[in-house]
Structure 1
Amino acid sequence: MQRRQFLQSMSAASMAAMASGAPRLWAADEPVSHPEPKADCLILLWMAGGMAAPETFDPKRYLPFEKGLPVERVMSTFPSIPTAIDGVEISEGLENIASVLDRGTLIRSHVLPDLGHILHSRHQYHWHTGYVPPQTVAAPHLGAWISKVRGPNNPAIPAFIDVGQRLEGVGEKEELKAFHQAGFFGTEYGPFLLPYPDQAIDAVRPPEGMTSERFRNRYQQFQKLVQASPLGEFGSSYQQESMMRSIENAHRLLNSPDRKAFDITLEPKESYDQYNTGRFGLGCLLARRLAESGARFIEVTTEYVPFLHWDTHENGHTTVERMKKEIDRPIAQLVRDLDERGMLDRTLVVLASEFSRDMMIEGVPGSTARDQSRARTDKLQELKQYGLHRHFTGSSSVLMFGGGIKRGAVYGETAPERPCLVTKNPISLEDMHATIYTAMGISPKTAFDVEKRPFYATKDGHGKAVMELFS
């Protein structure tokens, strides 16, 4: 599937979602029984762009840069370092995360499918919704599912908050919009977008002169406009009601004292500085404050912009060195803060990416995916060629902390030499989502009636939680 086809199919699915009626729980032959929740809040730390596992959490044989070095010999461009788990090593530059690794589980066997032509936003759509596009309806984001089924922790705080991703002014913005939504669940379950964490308080500050009476008048006028519009212009009656409820929720937030959670300048300077490595670091600080105030699902992203950040098509080693400086300290501090505040047990923290990277292989062995490296060479001649510049979908690493997950554990293995495919305990995306949903108290078989057929939380309801990950 090419970019144009992807956009066309997603546009059609979005229109179908707006026209759909109220989604109702699917009347299955056997009633769905939700598991007892182990977590009340999920923080997803999204390494957007394809974080290379051999350069981070699954290091392989290391060779330093040397002019003339055959690229086929390069597995990792960083040496490994010890962690708080005896005998377990991760990549240099992640010393802070290494020091808290004993508080969670490192998964090295997450398997992602080869979707043919590798388009980042398409793989990100798949990871965030559990469904490979195109779909006939807009599949809800993982955060929307959790918001819909579990509801808010605090009625004044949006249940689903996305921190760090711009949807305007960046490449593939329409593709990103395709999964940053609640689909057929309706607007009220969609993400509250905060691209800049240091400006989050501005998003929840009432406009000057905005009294409750003035808001009520505007709300009534907007309601009349929607109701008087031509049939379908603002979606089905359910979608219209959901839109109005989202406005009511916004008004509740603007008038709540809990909105101070969005003001990260209220954080003590020592704590603020510990997190402040840039937008992502401050996003982790904001996530901790929002979790404390009752947010249900928070995603903090390093942000996907084509050919930037983790999207290393050249200058891989240099770029990953910079990315580690941005993520290492704030992630470790987030885990420490949650643990020291007694929140980690009921907060699930997940670090993941859409796929990994390799020096030689695009996709998986035998894949027909187009080689997208900008540093093609047989032997290294300059530093920009040193790094993992090709997309690798055969394995990926995931970190999980809290939410009933084991402490100090490593799950799964990959081959020590190329191709670094999973050799032990593979976890598919369906099973990864099932594990997350189970921790959050949601059955992976949960389904809603959409266009007179069931639409499941995990694809076709087949996801199975990996119970060995739980303590």
Structure 2
Amino acid sequence: MRDKWNRRDFLRTASAATMSALAAGAPLSSLLSSCQSAHKESSADTVILLWMAGGMAHTDTFDPKIYTPFKKGMDSNGVLSTFKPVPTILDGINFSEGLESIGQVMDRGTLIRSYMAADLGHILHARHQYHWHTCYEPPQTVAAPHIGSWIARELGPKNPVIPAFINIGQRLTLGEGEELKAFHTAGFLGSEFGPFMIADPTAGLDAVKPPAGMSFQRFERRNQLYNDLISGSAFGEFGSDYQKESLRRAMEQSYMLLKSPEAKAFDLNSEPKASYDIYNTGKFGLGCLMARRLTQQGARFISVTTEYVPFEGWDTHENGHTRAAEMKRQIDKPIAQLIKDLEQSGHLDRTLIIVASEFSRDMMLEGRPGAEVLEQVDQPDIINDIKHYGMHRHFTDGGSILMFGGGIRKGSTYGKTADERPCKTIEKPIRIEQIHQTIYHALGIEQEAHAVIEGRPFYTTPDGVHKAELELLA
């Protein structure tokens, strides 16, 4: 069922926030001041976010409940998990069938089973993805930066040639593209801290070389022409000195990468076949392979997504069981191999890997925090067709996150959800502000890190009052 909400309001506010920053009466450099904190001791240098875009059901992945196999005429109210539980390497901890490989590396990380997404008024993908990635509820009066942009700004690049923030796997030219663009940005921090976008990892090298048939000399002339066009555009006229300088630095960094030997990290064709084949489960799997190669070359923050496309991937509004089985095939071996490869190369100890989604799902209930009686939509009481078997409805009152490496406690579990519907969080609830602060803490970024925009502090998490969940750390 397609989400019904006023997207225009959300986009109008996001666009106005960006333009108000550019067209402010005073230059943005006077509105945005650097308030980078004195960094404390860290346990991680790099973050890899493996984003399960679309809403990954916890009861059909990392938090299985009672399994009920499909049969015609079954009562849908009795279905909690549509996959058999399978053991992991941790005693007493099961995953659902299809995630055996990840289960065997859980001794390297922590399983969170009590993530609660916010009540944003509507349980909608764009709003919740924006909230997860920026830690701010939309809409905002200024364009909130992505967590990767904060990290890029606070810590800078590990390798000056490799972009500090790289996003792999998400196209921004499809349905709901404008909503996706709203958080694939550095916001008011400026272009140099924005994501280096690679929509398709199989064509990753194309992102760091001139178009086919274009010489470097011609590319340099085109680059100068582009600079001239920017200077003569509305951005050149109304943009602040800060934004112009930020854009110039972003372009210079891209040009430096283009000419560097490190650009080969983007070329998956140079990967040995045996390794390539393990990761080759589709775009996401190859994105994990690219993330491994970029981590080894000194990337700071990498996001790899299964890609949000309405009614595809983890957006399992129908055929929930069948779709989830395919998604698990795509993610299981690549995620496990990424962890093992980084461990073998000595990078895992300083690389924080996160597996997360914007919210979870339930078969019958459209759930949000605090709601005891929830709406039943588009799901028959009696199931006679396999397309109705699976987790279909958005659910925010419980969910799973995995964290590995980078100072995370090993072989641990955190939180608990109920074993009966609606399988909501009953122990140690954790929210996005705590998740973000835990990531920042591992990287050595202080809790109060912020920038000053339009005369007021804007913190990495709202009001700068939230704290890391130290129980997740070793």
| CA distance in structure 2 between the aligned counterparts of 1:434 and 1:404, rounded to whole angstroms | 14
SS in 2 for 1:39: coil
Kept in 2: contact 1:365–1:419 (CA 8 A): no
Letter in 1 for 2:344: E
Number of the residue aligned with 1:455? 458
| CA distance in structure 1 between the aligned counterparts of 2:415 and 2:447, rounded to whole angstroms | 22
Letter in 1 for 2:192: E
Number of the residue aligned with 1:11? 15
Once the two structures are TM-superposed, the CA of residue 467 in structure 1 deviates from its matched residue by: 0.7
SS in 2 for 1:247: helix
Letter in 2 for 1:396: G
Number of the residue aligned with 1:295? 299
Number of the residue aligned with 2:311? 307
Once the two structures are TM-superposed, the CA of residue 227 in structure 1 deviates from its matched residue by: 3.9
Number of the residue aligned with 2:140? 135
Number of the residue aligned with 2:113? 108
> Against the structure 1 CA distance between its residues 2 and 401, is the aligned structure 2 distance closer, same or farther, given a 3 Å change threshold?
same
Kept in 2: contact 1:116–1:367 (CA 8 A): no
How many residues are matched? 464
SS in 1 for 2:352: strand
Number of the residue aligned with 2:33? 24
Equivalent of residue 160 in structure 1, options 161, 165, 179: 165
Equivalent of residue 54 in structure 1, options 51, 59, 65: 59
> Against the structure 1 CA distance between its residues 418 and 224, is the aligned structure 2 distance closer, same or farther, given a 3 Å change threshold?
same
Letter in 2 for 1:96: S
Please list the CA deviations of residues 48-78 of structure 1 after superposition, one character each: whole Å capped at 9, or x if unmatched: 0000000000111111112221111111101
Number of the residue aligned with 1:443? 446
Residues 14-93 of structure 1 mapped to structure 2, 5 A cutoff: 14-19=18-23, 21-22=28-29, 23-26=32-35, 32-93=37-98
> Against the structure 1 CA distance between its residues 319 and 249, is the aligned structure 2 distance closer, same or farther, given a 3 Å change threshold?
same
Equivalent of residue 422 in structure 1, options 420, 425, 429: 425
Number of the residue aligned with 1:406? 409
Once the two structures are TM-superposed, the CA of residue 111 in structure 1 deviates from its matched residue by: 1.3
Letter in 2 for 1:384: K
Residues 255-266 of structure 1 mapped to structure 2, 5 A cutoff: 255-266=259-270
Structure 1 residue runs of 5 or longer lacking an equivalent are none
> Against the structure 1 CA distance between its residues 459 and 386, is the aligned structure 2 distance closer, same or farther, given a 3 Å change threshold?
same
Number of the residue aligned with 1:466? 469
Once the two structures are TM-superposed, the CA of residue 363 in structure 1 deviates from its matched residue by: 2.3
> Against the structure 1 CA distance between its residues 232 and 268, is the aligned structure 2 distance closer, same or farther, given a 3 Å change threshold?
closer
Once the two structures are TM-superposed, the CA of residue 229 in structure 1 deviates from its matched residue by: 4.4
| CA distance in structure 2 between the aligned counterparts of 1:190 and 1:287, rounded to whole angstroms | 17
> Against the structure 1 CA distance between its residues 209 and 69, is the aligned structure 2 distance closer, same or farther, given a 3 Å change threshold?
closer
| CA distance in structure 1 between the aligned counterparts of 2:7 and 2:169, rounded to whole angstroms | 24
Please list the CA deviations of residues 354-394 of structure 1 after superposition, one character each: whole Å capped at 9, or x if unmatched: 00001122123765999695x42111111000011100000
Number of the residue aligned with 1:346? 350
SS in 2 for 1:391: strand
Q: Normalization by structure 1: what TM-score?
A: 0.94
Once the two structures are TM-superposed, the CA of residue 267 in structure 1 deviates from its matched residue by: 0.6
| CA distance in structure 1 between the aligned counterparts of 2:373 and 2:9, rounded to whole angstroms | 17
Task: Find out whether 1:252 has 2:261 as its counterpart.
Answer: no
* Structure 1 stretch displaced more, 116-125 or 131-140: 116-125
Once the two structures are TM-superposed, the CA of residue 223 in structure 1 deviates from its matched residue by: 4.0
* Structure 1 stretch displaced more, 425-434 or 232-241: 232-241
Kept in 2: contact 1:117–1:369 (CA 8 A): no
Once the two structures are TM-superposed, the CA of residue 7 in structure 1 deviates from its matched residue by: 1.6
Task: Find out whether 1:279 has 2:255 as its counterpart.
Answer: no
Letter in 2 for 1:112: A
Please list the CA deviations of residues 69-103 of structure 1 after superposition, one character each: whole Å capped at 9, or x if unmatched: 11111111011110011111111110110111111
Structure 2 residue runs of 5 or longer lacking an equivalent are none
| CA distance in structure 2 between the aligned counterparts of 1:243 and 1:370, rounded to whole angstroms | 47
Task: Find out whether 1:147 has 2:156 as its counterpart.
Answer: no
| CA distance in structure 1 between the aligned counterparts of 2:8 and 2:373, rounded to whole angstroms | 17
Equivalent of residue 386 in structure 1, options 389, 404, 420: 389
Please list the CA deviations of residues 311-336 of structure 1 after superposition, one character each: whole Å capped at 9, or x if unmatched: 01110000000000000010000000
> Against the structure 1 CA distance between its residues 32 and 289, is the aligned structure 2 distance closer, same or farther, given a 3 Å change threshold?
closer
Kept in 2: contact 1:19–1:232 (CA 8 A): no
Once the two structures are TM-superposed, the CA of residue 9 in structure 1 deviates from its matched residue by: 1.4
Q: CA RMSD in A?
A: 2.0
Letter in 1 for 2:360: S
Once the two structures are TM-superposed, the CA of residue 264 in structure 1 deviates from its matched residue by: 0.7
Residues 348-363 of structure 1 mapped to structure 2, 5 A cutoff: 348-363=352-367
Kept in 1: contact 2:37–2:449 (CA 8 A): yes
* Structure 1 stretch displaced more, 230-239 or 322-331: 230-239
SS in 2 for 1:174: helix
Kept in 1: contact 2:85–2:97 (CA 8 A): yes
Once the two structures are TM-superposed, the CA of residue 32 in structure 1 deviates from its matched residue by: 4.6
Kept in 2: contact 1:43–1:347 (CA 8 A): yes
Please list the CA deviations of residues 388-423 of structure 1 after superposition, one character each: whole Å capped at 9, or x if unmatched: 110000011000000100111111111111122211
SS in 1 for 2:105: helix
| CA distance in structure 2 between the aligned counterparts of 1:9 and 1:370, rounded to whole angstroms | 30
* Structure 1 stretch displaced more, 441-450 or 251-260: 441-450
SS in 2 for 1:396: coil
Kept in 1: contact 2:231–2:237 (CA 8 A): no
> Against the structure 1 CA distance between its residues 309 and 72, is the aligned structure 2 distance closer, same or farther, given a 3 Å change threshold?
same
